[in-house]
Amino acid sequence: MNFSAAIRQVGNVSVVEVKGKLTSLESGALRSSIAQLLTEGRKQILLNLTGLTYLDSSGIGDLVHTYMSVIKRDGEMKVVGLSDKVEEILKITQLYQVFQEFQDEQAALRSFPDNGSQRKTVLQFVRPKKN
């Protein structure tokens, strides 16, 4: 598999599930997916990178470009599902300081403001029971 980006909506958040290799051969594919979301007014974006197997310098450039595009439109972009390899690349490039990372998708979804009914439902599951 080269690269794919599947988009689904969870409340007000657009979850972009990235799979495959993000390299110079696929340069622009992620950018165009994010640009389309921004054109539609969708500014709360969660990149689920669980399926990202490889990232080269062009892929890093795509991540930075998409992040900057979202921020310039007063949006938020967060990431979840970093493999050890991708996390290492983000640390080496110091990008781990830019991208807000979460351990799981539910935690990331809860972190977005005003995520509609999805947010309320998720919060109900994490409240401890009182005895």
Each of the 131 residues of the chain gets a pLDDT tens digit; together they read: 588 999 999 999 999 999 999 998 876 889 999 999 999 999 999 999 999 998 899 999 999 999 999 999 999 999 999 999 888 988 998 888 888 999 899 999 999 987 643 433 332 233 344 44
- Residue at 131 is within a domain: no
Per DSSP, what are the bridge partners of residue 76? 44
CA-to-CA distance for 63 and 50, rounded, in angstroms?
15
User: What CATH number has the domain bearing residue 102?
Assistant: 3.30.750.24
Q: Which domain holds residue 13?
A: 3-126
How many folded domains does the chain comprise? Answer: 1
